[in-house]
C-alpha cells in the first residue's frame, strides 16, 4: 500500500510538472517562432537581392500582422552566397482560449523576431541531363522577444538542407517552362525538459512545382518537418504546410509576388503574403 501511494504521488508530481512545461513547437507559439523553413528554386542569384514582405496570419484564434525582411549577398555570383533574414516586427491578437492554452499574460502586443544567418553553396550546376544541387547551412539565433507571451523561442537552433532543382522546356501556349525542386535536411533546436535541455531533432522535407510563362511564374510548395518529441497528444512536432505563390518580374529583374499558405497539420495558421524582391547590383561584391 505504501509503495502504491509513493508511486501515485510521483506520477501526480510528474503530471503537474509537465503541465508547466513550455512546448517549443509552432502549435504552441506564434506563426513566426519556428515556421517550416522556406527553400528556393535551387538557384543562387547573380546580384545582391533584398526581399520585403507583409504577412497576415489568421484563423485558429491567433491573428498576426508581421514583416519579414531578407537580404542575400552572392560572394561568388550564382555559386556561393550569404543570406540573412528577420521578422522585424509583428503585432498579434489572440483569443482567450489561446491565451489560456499557451499561458500567455496578455491578448495583444508587439514583438520582434529571431535573426537567421545562412550560407549557401552550389554543389552542382544544372545541365542538360543533371540537376542543380545547393547546400544550405542555417543558424537560428535566440534573439526574438516576448517569450513569455509565446511569440518567439528563447532557444537557438540550426538546420542543414539540400535543394535539388531541374527545369524542363515545354512547347505550350500557356507554359514555357516547368521546374521541379525538392528539399531534404536536418533541423534542430533546444527544448526545455524537467531536468535539462535537450535538442528536438527533425527531418525537414519539401517539394516545389514551378510553372513559368514569360514574366509570370506560379509555384506550389508542400513542405514540413518531423520531430521525435511527443509530450502531449497535440504537441505539434510535425507541422505540414502548403503554399501557392504568384510571381511577376519586371524588366529590371524586380519581382512582385502574392502568396497564400495553408497550415495542413500542427501549424494552426493560414497566411496571406505580399512582397517584393529587388536586385542591388551596386551592392554586389566582386571578389572574382
C-alpha cell at 170: 515545354
Q: What is the CA radius of gyration of the chain?
A: 21
CA 53 to CA 99: how far, in whole Å? Answer: 27
SS3 56: strand
Instruction: Extract the C-alpha cell encoding 182.
Output: 525538392
Fill in the DSSP letter of residue 59.
S
pLDDT tens-digit readout, 200-250:
999 999 999 999 999 999 999 999 999 999 888 899 999 999 999 999 999
Residue 204 and residue 185 in contact, taking contact as beta carbons nearer than 8 Å: yes
The CATH superfamily label for domain 23-283 reads monomeric porin ompg (2.40.160.40)
pLDDT tens per residue, range 131-179: 999 999 999 999 999 999 999 999 999 999 999 999 999 877 789 999 9
Cα 145 to Cα 54, 84, 87, 88, 220: the distances in Å are 19, 18, 11, 11, 32
Cα separation of 169 and 212, whole Å? Answer: 10
The answer, yes or no, to whether residue 16 has pLDDT greater than 60, is: no
| 78-113 pLDDT, tens digit each | 999 999 999 999 999 999 999 999 999 999 999 999
What backbone phi and psi angles, to 5 degrees, belong to 41? Answer: -80, 10
Q: Which residues of 3-42 are buried (b: 16+ CB within 10 A; e: fewer)?
A: eeeeeeeeeeeeeeeeeeebbbbbbbbbbbbbbbbebbbb
Within 10 angstroms of residue 204's Cβ, the number of other Cβ atoms is 21
Q: What per-residue confidence (pLDDT) applies to 241?
A: 98
Q: What is the pTM of this model?
A: 0.89
Contacts of 35 (CB under 8 A, 6+ apart): 26, 239, 267
CA separation, residue 146 to residues 58, 149, 286 (Å):
20, 6, 40
User: Hunting for cell 494552426 — which residue is that?
Assistant: 268
Q: Tell me the three cell numbers of residue 264.
A: 495542413
Is it the case that residue 271 has pLDDT exceeding 60? yes
pLDDT of residue 21: 79
Grid cell 493560414 — which residue? 270
Higher pLDDT, 194 or 176: 176
How many CA atoms lie within 13 Å of 222's alpha carbon, on the beta-carbon side?
Answer: 5
Amino acid at each position: 500500500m505504501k509503495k502504491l501511494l509513493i508511486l501515485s504521488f510521483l506520477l501526480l508530481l510528474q503530471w503537474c510538472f509537465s503541465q508547466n512545461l513550455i512546448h517549443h513547437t509552432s502549435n504552441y507559439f506564434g506563426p513566426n517562432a519556428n515556421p517550416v523553413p522556406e527553400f528556393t528554386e535551387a538557384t543562387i542569384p547573380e546580384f545582391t537581392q533584398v526581399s520585403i514582405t507583409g504577412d497576415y496570419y489568421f484563423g485558429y484564434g491567433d491573428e498576426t500582422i508581421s514583416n519579414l525582411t531578407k537580404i542575400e549577398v552572392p560572394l561568388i555570383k550564382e555559386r556561393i552566397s550569404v543570406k540573412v533574414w528577420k521578422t522585424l516586427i509583428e503585432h498579434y491578437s489572440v483569443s482567450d482560449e489561446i491565451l489560456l492554452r499557451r499561458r500567455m499574460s496578455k491578448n495583444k502586443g508587439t514583438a520582434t523576431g529571431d535573426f537567421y544567418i545562412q550560407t549557401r553553396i552550389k554543389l552542382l550546376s544544372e545541365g542538360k541531363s543533371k540537376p542543380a544541387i545547393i547546400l544550405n547551412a542555417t543558424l537560428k539565433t535566440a534573439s526574438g522577444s516576448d517569450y513569455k507571451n509565446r511569440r518567439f523561442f528563447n532557444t537557438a537552433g540550426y538546420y542543414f538542407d539540400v535543394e535539388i532543382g531541374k527545369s524542363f522546356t515545354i512547347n505550350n501556349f500557356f507554359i514555357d517552362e516547368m521546374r521541379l525542386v525538392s528539399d531534404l535536411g536536418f533541423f534542430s533546436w533546444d527544448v526545455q525538459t524537467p531536468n535539462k535541455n535537450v535538442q528536438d531533432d527533425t527531418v525537414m522535407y519539401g517539394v516545389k512545382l514551378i510553372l513559368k510563362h514569360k514574366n509570370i511564374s506560379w509555384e506550389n510548395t508542400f513542405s514540413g518537418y518531423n520531430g521525435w518529441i511527443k509530450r502531449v497528444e497535440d504537441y505539434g512536432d510535425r507541422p505540414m504546410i502548403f503554399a501557392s505563390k504568384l510571381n511577376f518580374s519586371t524588366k529590371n529583374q524586380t519581382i512582385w509576388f502574392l502568396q497564400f499558405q495553408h497550415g495542413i497539420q500542427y501549424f494552426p495558421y493560414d497566411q496571406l503574403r505580399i512582397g517584393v524582391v529587388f536586385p542591388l547590383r551596386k551592392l554586389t561584391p566582386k571578389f572574382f
